[in-house]
Structure 1
Amino acid sequence: MVLTKQNSIKKIEMGTIVTPAGFYAAGMHTGVKRKRNDLGLIYCDVPASAAALYTLNAIQAAPLHVTKESIAEEGKLQAVIVNSGNANACTGAQGEADAYTMRRATARELSVPEHTVAVSSTGIIGLDMPMDKIIPNIEHLTLSSDANDAAAFSESILTTDTGPKATCYQAEIDGETITMGGSAKGSGMIEPNMGTMLAYLTTDAAIEPDMLHHALKEATDKTFNCITIDGDTSTNDMVLTMASGKAENETLTPDHKDWPIFVELLEATCEDLAKMIARDGEGATKLIEVAVTGAKDNDEAVKVAKTVVGSPLVKTAVYGSDPNWGRIIAAIGRSGATVDPTAIETSIGSVKLLVNGQPVAFSEEAVSEYMLNDNVLISIDLNVGDGSGKAWGCDLTYDYVRINASYRT
């Protein structure tokens, strides 16, 4: 167990999405994909408070429509059925019907109301769903609270990811131990405000759906909405949270004395998953973190950070371990944020490159050596205000082109 910086929450190294009380998971291979698991299920043994956020793409896949409808019914879910290998996007009336069929089949198998089932899909856009593989296998999903089944679920949601992404944290609220677990996928078509990413969070905290949505929106704005890999936003993106209430704490609201602890718990879980997604960008070899201080406000700080970490020229410079700070300063200037060119300071790692808008002497060899690390930090101080923010991304490599040139074939 690793304590966080504020020591109010702790990371559970062996924790999973089924560590919170009341949750079970399963994953299996049905043949939608050639190899890895492609059908997964999360189940809660009680109706759980639920909240979700979705892609901002104007074209949204059928499963999103179904999930929105399910949550809107009463803000409660008991299950999420997920498939990978086929996005069920841009598939017309048949795609809508298929998403409802997945919801209905899952509800029937679990003996729960249809509106307590969410549906999620990821994969190739524009292909009819292989329902002959998915529907018969829903009954073969074997749920458990075992870590192996949580891992099977985490694998079932992947597309071009190199591996599963999962995390777990705990905190004490009202004298009760509150646990939050998360599982996510995402590797390409990632842009701020979510991209081809799916994230599922479970917690045993007691919280009403509207308050859960409020907290999730706040956490997502600071985490999932601050990652970028390639500037594309997909049709299927979703981050979904379920809270079983089984920890039996006093129901959480912003007026609760421990509300900040719950927010920290949620943000830490989301940040872990967001950074895993950024680090696993298609073809990536390095995670880039851009930390901005001294901005006019927090929103402008995040705007600068996103612009810099999303710049193809900055990304390729990081790939080549080239401390080309001119690319960083150019991205800052086009970000649209308030800047004073004579006040900007930039650093790569601990080495300052620019002070008061002027270049300073530094060892290019030392900075290049630092940029060989798996994690590269770019720090920017705009010196125009008190705003701060971060964004995460990855380097841009030859393999990104290779992977996406043959995604379908």
Structure 2
Amino acid sequence: EMIKGGKISLVVVNSGNAKCFTGQDGIDDCEKTIEFASEITNIPSSEIATASTGVIGRKMPMDIILPLVEESISKLEHNAESSTDAAKSIMTTDTYHKEFAVETEIDGEKVRIGGITKGVGMIAPNMGTMLCFLATDAVISSEMINKALKSAVNRSFNMIVVDGDQSTNDTAILMANGNSGVEVAKDGEINEDFQEALDFICISLAKMMARDGEGATKFIECKVNGAKDENDAILASKSVISSSLVKSAIFGGDPNWGRIVAAVGYSGCEMNQDMISVSVNSDDGKEAILVDKGKILAFEGTDELNSAEEIMQEKTVNIVVDLYQGDASATAWGCDLTYDYVKINAEYTT
């Protein structure tokens, strides 16, 4: 509501309190924060956004927050160290800060995009708790920013699952200052090189989030090929990544192909059990085919099962599903489900 004009010059972010499910008091506190920041910076309140992450349903202690807003504004600087400080300050249960930057060339001119993000629990974004702040020196209107960011988010943050719980506070913001002088949108279309760069940075940040999932010991990638259409590919890949049974099997090092096939089956995608293939591979080139066009290969005592069990011990486990229903594909990312995830969330507010 505050930034509906499409221009953002400042974002006030807090971690530890979601400022959600707090009724009108929460809305009033948000407006007070914006007005306070506007007075200090002389930036119009219509150009100031807020974002919060943390415990749901707790009132914001404004007597603590407002002095901290003033202190934070006094420390703003334009350098790499400040970016890292910002990335660290928004962490909750993250074990490390997450930032990334890319540079691309458009018509021979350089354009840069940088971003920070947080969130390793309540991650099942429907654009997970996640916050992402991106900035670029490209010349692009707010309307085209919205188009480019939505496309990138659908390929990245909306394709990660840590625990299947969608957060109340998911926020992704892309700001452009135009300092490069390079136009990246024309006639309602986004420049392909700019979109590719934006997709890349968002996917990189999203994968950092999944890899750092609460209590995680393993990173999972699931690529679905041969789907009837892109929607089916998305349904199937996210279903596998979301499955608590698949996640717990990977934590235990168990290449349980039945759980993978079951997750694809109940995803709602079109599949034929006599055509589906499932394999796992590792980043160092090891591969094991578990199911080949409906035929199970990884029975007890087979080389395929032995290889699969070895791959399951890796820090990164890649799952590939071929549906043979069409030409569409999609990739989703997640992590295993561990004892520590339960412990972290059992003790979250205590």
**Same fold by TM (over 0.5)?**
yes
Structure 1 segments, 4+ long, off by >2 Å, are 253-256, 361-366
Picking from 77, 89, 99, the partner of 1:156 is 89
Structure 2 equivalent of residue 404 of structure 1: 345
Could you tell me whether the CA contact under 8 Å between 2:102 and 2:114 is conserved in 1? yes
RMSD, aligned CA: 1.3
Query: Normalising by the residue count of structure 2, what TM-score does the alignment of the two structures yield?
Result: 0.94
Aligned partner of residue 139 in structure 1, secondary structure: helix
1:245 aligns with 2:178: yes
Aligned partner of residue 367 in structure 1, secondary structure: helix
Q: 1:76-95 maps to which residues of 2 (within 5 A)? A: 76-95=7-26
Partners in 2 of 1:147 and 1:304 — Cα distance?
A: 39
Structure 1 equivalent of residue 32 of structure 2: 101
Aligned partner of residue 261 in structure 2, secondary structure: helix
Structure 1 equivalent of residue 157 of structure 2: 224
**Deviation string, structure 1 residues 87-136 (Cα, Å, up to 9, x no partner):** 11111121111111111111222111011000011111111101111111
Picking from 169, 190, 211, the partner of 2:144 is 211
| Structure with bigger RCO (C-alpha 8 Å, 6+ apart) | 1
Give the counterpart letter for 1:403 in structure 2.
Answer: I
Partners in 2 of 1:106 and 1:145 — Cα distance?
A: 18
Could you tell me whether the CA contact under 8 Å between 2:290 and 2:304 is conserved in 1? no
Give the counterpart letter for 1:387 in structure 2.
Answer: A
Picking from 274, 277, 286, the partner of 1:345 is 277
Structure 1 equivalent of residue 294 of structure 2: 357
Structure 2 equivalent of residue 34 of structure 1: none
Partners in 1 of 2:125 and 2:227 — Cα distance?
A: 19
Structure 2 equivalent of residue 144 of structure 1: 77
Could you tell me whether the CA contact under 8 Å between 1:211 and 1:253 is conserved in 2? no
Partners in 2 of 1:147 and 1:204 — Cα distance?
A: 15
Structure 1 equivalent of residue 268 of structure 2: 336
Partners in 2 of 1:248 and 1:108 — Cα distance?
A: 30
Partners in 2 of 1:305 and 1:266 — Cα distance?
A: 22
Partners in 2 of 1:251 and 1:225 — Cα distance?
A: 24
Structure 2 equivalent of residue 383 of structure 1: 324
Partners in 1 of 2:104 and 2:271 — Cα distance?
A: 39
Aligned partner of residue 316 in structure 1, secondary structure: helix
**Deviation string, structure 1 residues 123-162 (Cα, Å, up to 9, x no partner):** 1111110111111122222111222211111111111111
Q: 1:307-346 maps to which residues of 2 (within 5 A)? A: 307-346=239-278
Could you tell me whether the CA contact under 8 Å between 2:289 and 2:304 is conserved in 1? no
Structure 2 equivalent of residue 263 of structure 1: 195
Could you tell me whether the CA contact under 8 Å between 2:123 and 2:130 is conserved in 1? yes
Return closer, same or farther for 1:298/1:254 CA change in 2, 3 Å cut-off: farther
Q: Which runs of 5+ in 2 are unaligned?
A: 282-286
Q: Report deviation, 1:255.
A: 6.0
Q: Which runs of 5+ in 1 are unaligned?
A: 1-68
Structure 2 equivalent of residue 15 of structure 1: none
Partners in 2 of 1:285 and 1:208 — Cα distance?
A: 41
Partners in 2 of 1:84 and 1:105 — Cα distance?
A: 18
Could you tell me whether the CA contact under 8 Å between 1:207 and 1:253 is conserved in 2? no
Partners in 1 of 2:334 and 2:183 — Cα distance?
A: 38
Q: Report deviation, 1:262.
A: 0.6
Give the counterpart letter for 1:354 in structure 2.
Answer: V
State the identity %.
46
Could you tell me whether the CA contact under 8 Å between 1:174 and 1:250 is conserved in 2? no
Aligned partner of residue 2 in structure 2, secondary structure: helix
Picking from 42, 45, 70, the partner of 2:2 is 70
Q: Report deviation, 1:251.
A: 5.0
**Deviation string, structure 1 residues 257-290 (Cα, Å, up to 9, x no partner):** x711010011001101111111111100111000
Q: 1:11-160 maps to which residues of 2 (within 5 A)? A: 69-72=1-4, 74-141=5-72, 142-160=75-93
Give the counterpart letter for 2:57 in structure 1.
Answer: G
Structure 2 equivalent of residue 294 of structure 1: 226
Partners in 1 of 2:177 and 2:315 — Cα distance?
A: 37
Aligned partner of residue 237 in structure 2, secondary structure: helix
Partners in 2 of 1:318 and 1:387 — Cα distance?
A: 26
Return closer, same or farther for 1:356/1:237 CA change in 2, 3 Å cut-off: same
Could you tell me whether the CA contact under 8 Å between 1:71 and 1:116 is conserved in 2? yes
Could you tell me whether the CA contact under 8 Å between 2:153 and 2:202 is conserved in 1? yes
Structure 2 equivalent of residue 167 of structure 1: 100
Partners in 1 of 2:24 and 2:248 — Cα distance?
A: 42
Partners in 1 of 2:253 and 2:114 — Cα distance?
A: 35
Partners in 2 of 1:255 and 1:140 — Cα distance?
A: 41
